[in-house]
Amino acid sequence: MLNNKSILITGGTGSFGKSFIKIIINKFKKINKLIIFSRDELKQYEMEELYPKSKYPFMRFFLGDVRDQERLMSAVEGVDYLIHAAALKQVPAAEYNPFEFVKTNVIGAQNIVQACLKSNVKKVISLSTDKAVSPVNLYGATKLCSDKIFLSANNFKGKKKITFSVVRYGNVAGSRGSVMPYLVNSKKNNKIVNLTDKKMTRFNISLEDGVEMVLWSLKNTVGGEIVIPKIPSYRIMDLLKATGNEKNYKIVGIRLGEKINEELLGTADAINTIDIGKYYITLPTIKDKKILGYYNKFNYKKLKSDFSYNSGNNKKFLSVSELKKIISNL
């Protein structure tokens, strides 16, 4: 699928980007170009050291920011597939610096759409978050706007052979700034954990499963849909036990913009969503021939109109022993 193709990944030096790159260069041996687009020169230098040009001549490193449309125009030249993973993500930082998040997550999304529409990019996959569903924080609101921008781009592409789709998932185990490393370090340094609420639950996905979903989307999406994985949840108290912090915390209350349970699919979208087994697919309300292909290609079930998929009503919860195994592999 990716052999003889040129791929660009924004935010390519982040947690997802690193895992994506590692997997695809092992799986596809004839990639034409793999462009790592990010604004962090140190991380780009470190990645270049890991993937030297002598061994990986197809890799390119572009310093740039998604806020800069002109730089994006240069970067997407000759690109077949674009994976958009760049974003500002920290919830408290978003509440304190709202327009910085708007500039990166919203205006940056529009810049990517415009750059791709002016080039010959064939497919765009944007990474989203459970916080974009019924958002109560600024970060989630900017990602909801970003999702809408990418999905609506399918409506004004004209005769361009390009599609825009979104993949949405929950907390990535062990990613930078996530709760698992925080709890592991708290235990290691004997620090008291600030716990917001004992009832809190979260979705969990591995980086490998996130990459697999993006590769599935590159192969199967037709434009305008949101791909949602079926992934397990965990209870925050079980995570405290798994990291040895069950007696090492204090309740500080829910922070501004936090939820007790996160949602991957709200009831408002259930009417347009089908279950194809491994994934839920939220389809555009306008059913064109390509979208109807989902009904022909997959064994599917329609969801009940009141269906919702959140980390609290999930059928699968990780046990303490399963969480310990995940943590040991971080």
Per-residue model confidence as pLDDT tens digits over 59-114: 999 999 999 999 999 999 999 999 999 999 998 899 999 999 999 999 999 999 99
Confidence of residue 175 (pLDDT cuts 50, 70, 90): confident
Tokens of 284: 């555009």
- pLDDT over 90 for what percent of the chain? 80
| Cα–Cα distance, 295 to 104 (Å, whole number) | 36
Residue 24 has pLDDT above 70, yes or no: yes
* CA dihedral over 154, 155, 156, 160, signed as positive or negative: positive
E strand map for 97-225: 123-129, 163-169, 171-172, 193-195, 201-205
Tell me the pairing of strands 201-205 and 233-235.
antiparallel
Residue 211 has pLDDT above 90, yes or no: yes
Give the pLDDT mean for 215-242: 96
- pLDDT over 70 for what percent of the chain? 98
> Which pLDDT does position 214 carry in this prediction?
98
Say which residue the tokens 């064994």 belong to. 299
Asked if 44 contacts 17 with a C-beta cutoff of 8 angstroms, the reply is no
Higher confidence at residue 175 or residue 31? Answer: 31
Asked if 280 contacts 265 with a C-beta cutoff of 8 angstroms, the reply is yes
Kindly write down the DSSP assignment for every residue of 275-313, as one continuous string.
Answer: E-SSEEEEPPSS--HHHHHHHHHS--EEPPTT--EETTT
Q: Which residues pair with 128 in a beta bridge?
A: 168
> Which pLDDT does position 257 carry in this prediction?
82
What pLDDT digit, counting tens, does each position of 32-64 carry?
Answer: 999 999 999 999 999 999 999 999 999 999 999
Give the pLDDT mean for 189-212: 93
| Cα–Cα distance, 208 to 206 (Å, whole number) | 5
| Cα–Cα distance, 326 to 318 (Å, whole number) | 10
Say which residue the tokens 């716990």 belong to. 195
Asked if 87 contacts 105 with a C-beta cutoff of 8 angstroms, the reply is yes
> Which pLDDT does position 284 carry in this prediction?
87
Does residue 316 have an active-site annotation? no
Low-confidence winner among 14-18, 225-229, 263-267, 291-295 (lowest mean pLDDT): 291-295
> Which pLDDT does position 286 carry in this prediction?
60
Higher confidence at residue 59 or residue 290? Answer: 59
> Which pLDDT does position 290 carry in this prediction?
72
Q: Please pick, among 131, 230, 301, 325, the residue that the annotation labels catalytic.
A: 131
Say which residue the tokens 């459970």 belong to. 130
Higher confidence at residue 284 or residue 286? Answer: 284
Say which residue the tokens 């596809």 belong to. 28
Tokens of 326: 């995940």
Confidence of residue 118 (pLDDT cuts 50, 70, 90): very high
Residue 174 has pLDDT above 90, yes or no: no
For the chain, percent helix, then strand, then coil, each to nearest 5?
40, 20, 40
Say which residue the tokens 């730089």 belong to. 71
> Which pLDDT does position 119 carry in this prediction?
95
What is the topology classification, in CATH, of domain 6-169+206-230+264-308? Rossmann fold (3.40.50)
> Which pLDDT does position 288 carry in this prediction?
66
In 3D space, the residue among 85, 88, 163, 87 whose CA is nearest the CA of residue 127 turns out to be 85
For 26, the enclosing helix (H) or strand (E) is: helix 15-27
Higher confidence at residue 291 or residue 110? Answer: 110
Tell me the pairing of strands 201-205 and 226-229.
unpaired
Residue 311 has pLDDT above 90, yes or no: yes
Torsion of CA 198, 200, 203, 206, to 10 degrees: -40
> Which pLDDT does position 285 carry in this prediction?
72
| Cα–Cα distance, 117 to 130 (Å, whole number) | 27
Query: For 192, which DSSP code?
Result: P
The rounded mean pLDDT for the chain is: 93
> Which pLDDT does position 229 carry in this prediction?
97
Tell me the pTM: 0.94
Confidence of residue 289 (pLDDT cuts 50, 70, 90): low
| Cα–Cα distance, 212 to 202 (Å, whole number) | 21
Distances in Å between the Cα of 106 and the Cα atoms of 75, 99, 285 are 19, 10, 23
| Cα–Cα distance, 93 to 76 (Å, whole number) | 30
